Amino acid sequence: MSLDISCPNCETDEHLFGARNDAVITITCSGCSLSWDRPAAPHCERCGSTDVVAHPVPLIERSRGTQMSITAMHVETRCRICDADELRERGTGHLPPSLQ
């Protein structure tokens, strides 16, 4: 299974398992046990386009001391039409060469 995503915590993309569950796919990293949900059929809420990019946002909790740990993941959806400017600034590399 190709998920086209890597673990935001340990950065592996080889030990991820996805379990589809209606509208979301729950992805679990066996390397560090982090799991998060990803929309199974992501689309733009503004224009309805399905030409979108999954943008994982780690929810980081500052635990006691200075150590930071990722406790959960939230996946935002970026539309290639509505969020074109932002995607270009971030340089995600997802745009086809003709648009770069």
| Angle, vertex CA 89, rays to CA 2 and CA 67, nearest 5 | 70
Minimum separation from the CB atom of position 84 to Zn ion (A): 9
Minimum separation from the CB atom of position 7 to Zn ion (A): 3
The total number of residues shown for the chain amounts to 100
Minimum separation from the CB atom of position 75 to Zn ion (A): 15
- Per-residue binding letters, 8-47, with Zn ion (x by CB under 5 A): -xx------------------x-xx-----------x-xx
Residue 89: exposure state from Cβ atoms within 10 A (0-12, 13-18, ≥19): exposed
Count of residues engaged in binding Zn ion, rule: CB under 5 A = 13
Three-class DSSP category at 68: strand
